[in-house]
Amino acid sequence: MNSSQTQGSAPKRLTAVMNFFWHVPRNILIIVLKLYRRVVSPMYGQVCRFFPSCSAYALEAVTVHGAVKGSWFAMRRIVRCHPWNSGGIDHVPAPVHVNWDDPSTVPLIVQLNHPHVFLAKQQETQSRNSA
Amino acid sequence: MGFFDTILFPFKWLVSWIMVQFHDGLTFLGLDAASGVTWTLAIIGLVLVIRAALIPVFVKQIKAQRGMQALQPDMKKLQAKYKGKTDQLSRQAMGQEQMALYKEHGTNPFSACLPMLIQMPFFFSLFQVLSGVAKANADNVGIGAMTHDQVVQFDEATIFGARLSDALLPSLQGGNLTVAIAFLSIIMILAMIASQFITQKQIMSKNMSEEAMQGPFMKQQKMMLYVLPLVFGIGGVNFPIGVLIYWTTTNLWTMGQQFFVIRRMPTPGSPAYREYQKRREAKGLPLLGASKKKTEEEPEVIPEVKGQRSQPQRKNRKKK
């Protein structure tokens, strides 16, 4: 995504446009999932046997891995989420290029799905600021 | 065939097959094959089949609720740990630890996503079957397991003067809205909304623990309680009467199940639970929490895992 910074403004704009179209399917899915979490989820209350919940898992998977791979992960998770599975903690497989050092660059859903990691980060920055 | 049609095809076939079976059975029992009442009962039969197939899921959930007693002490500790921490990350962290706790105790109070999601394609298929009937009649074809003759019969069957495939808004736009369609649609939409609202209200006012009621999702859920009837009201004017019948019936089933749960196995810590304990006391039965503890204390002592459990998580946290 950041490769465009090295070139002039024309190719930069071109990559930005290409990036935009490349991410259209992913962004549509993100919107659909966010709507689902806003509108449909509250209707049922919590039903999911896992942390993060299936919809949170799907949102993270699609955000991090893109439309195709993300949907595949999400589908496999939903199939796993049946009453005879004991549930528990089940995170989205992390992509290879994961960089969680700066929370401001990490999508909110990823932060929410890994609360312990980012709570620790929060405390670190707090103690650094006070010191 | 589009992507969704391909996915829905087997469901559509199954939905129409179940309906045809009920229709044939009812006809065999002496009901008029061409009557809308027979087809309405066939739709209700479809709901009964789907919901009955989900009973094992429900029973599983009820049993898990009972198991919840055993982890109350651990749960109390967890709540104390996160007391007063209302920011989103802390709530999430608590949710995560809670899940770990369920896993550790081998009990989970939630019913899982798959059974809920699996009902959706059935609903969409029914929607497609009902809204496709008029077209299939005109095109001289069948739908799923329905033969063309049955499609014709279904299309022409009326209940109180309205066809099952009629919907309020499309009829209005098509200029063929009758009093029967309008009346029946509005009654069914109101029934659908009322059953949904009552169930939701019951859960929220009676069967939620105090922690859940003070939780971060409560505000949103309270808002949805009033927004959803609006959504369904707006959506409902587009639904064929047959779909409204399906939805209302399934809502009524949910309502019945919910009443049963509230009465017989309420969530620990909820108002319904306190009432339940009072009733037990009045009958001279031992209190549920007390009786469970004694039997389960002994195996419960063993897990030193409790101490260990939070440790690996902390290490994990620092590593990342």
**B2-6, B149-153, B207-211, B245-249, range with the lowest pLDDT:** B207-211
Mean pLDDT of B46-69: 82
CA-based nearest distance A8→chain B, Å? 37
Domain count, chain B: 1
What's residue B217's pLDDT?
63
Chain B CB contacts of A88 under 8 Å are 99-100, 102-103, 108
Chain A CB contacts of B203 below 8 Å: 45
Structure-block tokens of residue A62: 């699609």
Q: How many CB atoms lie within 10 A of CB B130?
A: 29
Contact check, Cβ <8 Å, B115/A79: no
Which of B19-33, B38-52, B89-103, B270-284 has the weakest average pLDDT? Answer: B270-284
Model confidence at B107, pLDDT cuts 50, 70, 90, reads: confident
Q: Over the stretch A67-107, which tens digit does the pLDDT of each residue have?
A: 999 999 999 999 999 988 888 999 999 876 677 777 778 88
Per-residue confidence (pLDDT) for residue A74, from 0 to 100: 95
Residues 6-45 of chain B with CB under 8 A from chain A are none
Say whether pLDDT at B183 is over 70. yes
Residue B98's nearest CA partner among B121, B75, B117 is B75
Q: Tokens 């079976």 appear where? A: B21
pTM for the model stands at 0.74
The answer on pLDDT for A8 being more than 70 is no
Amino acid A124 reads E
Does residue B300 fall inside a structural domain?
A: no
Q: How many whole angstroms separate alpha carbon A65 and alpha carbon A71?
A: 9
Residue B46 inside a domain? The answer is: yes
- The distance from CA B107 to its chain's CA centroid, rounded to whole angstroms, is 21
Q: How many CB atoms sit inside 10 A of residue A14's CB?
A: 12
**Reduced to 3 states, what is the DSSP secondary structure of residue B143?**
strand
Q: Is residue B193 part of a domain?
A: yes
The residue type at B135:
K
Q: Output A69 or B84, whichever has higher pLDDT.
A: A69
Which residue in B97, B110, B211, B319 has the most chain A C-beta atoms within 10 A of its own C-beta, making it the best mutation to test that interface? B110
Whether B304 is in a domain gets the answer: no
Task: Tell me whether residue B287 is in a domain.
Answer: no
Q: What pLDDT does B295 receive?
A: 42
Q: Among residues A20, A24, A26, which one has the least CA distance to residue A74?
A: A26
Q: What is the pLDDT of residue B1?
A: 60
Q: What is the mean pLDDT of residues B178-202?
A: 89
Q: Which residues contact B151 (CB under 8 A, 6 or more apart)?
A: B133, B136, B137, B141, B142, B143
pLDDT confidence of residue B253 = 93
pLDDT computed for residue A73 by the predictor:
96
Q: Which two tokens stand for residue B243?
A: 């779909």
Place B239 in a pLDDT band, splitting at 50, 70 and 90.
confident
Q: Which of B31, B4, B51, B23 is nearest to B247 (CA)?
A: B51
The reported pLDDT for the residue numbered B212 is 66
Q: Where are the alpha helices (DSSP H) in B158-236?
A: 168-174, 179-206, 210-214, 218-236
User: Which residues of chain B does A51 touch, with a Cβ-Cβ cutoff of 8 Å?
Assistant: 95-96, 98-100
β-partners of residue B143 are: B146
Question: Which chain B residues are closer than 8 Å to A123 by Cβ?
Answer: none
B298-318: average pLDDT = 47
Least confident of A2-6, B41-45, B58-62: A2-6
B236: domain range?
7-87+94-279
Alpha-carbon distance B219 to B280, whole Å? 33
Q: Is residue B291 included in any domain, yes or no?
A: no
State the Cα–Cα distance between residues B113 and B253, nearest whole angstrom. Answer: 19
Give mean pLDDT, residues B266-273. Answer: 79
The tokens for B57 are: 């899921």
Instruction: Select from B112, B313, B320 the Cβ nearest to the Cβ of A100.
Output: B320
pLDDT band for position B301 (cuts 50, 70, 90)? very low
Q: Return the residue in A76, A86, A108, A109 with the most chain B beta carbons within 10 A, the one to mutate for interface testing.
A: A86
Instruction: Evaluate whether residue B299 is within a structural domain.
Output: no
- Look at A85 and B317 and tell me if their CB atoms are within 8 Å: no
Number of CB atoms found within 10 A of residue B176's CB: 10
More confident residue, B253 or B64: B253
Candidate from A44, A111, A116 with C-beta closest to B313: A116
Is residue B306 situated within a structural domain?
no
- Which range has the worst mean pLDDT, B122-131, B160-169, B210-219? B210-219
Length of chain B (residues): 320
Q: Chain A: nearest CA to B99, how far in angstroms?
A: 5
- Determine, for residues B320 and A114 on separate chains, whether the beta-carbon distance falls below 8 Å: yes
The B residues from 52 to 91 touching A (CB cutoff 8 Å) are 56-57, 60-61, 88-90
Determine the average pLDDT of the residues in B106-115: 85
ipTM: 0.82
Query: How do residues A27-76 score in pLDDT, each as one tens digit?
Result: 999 999 999 988 788 777 778 999 999 999 999 999 999 999 999 999 99
CA distance A5 to chain B (A): 29
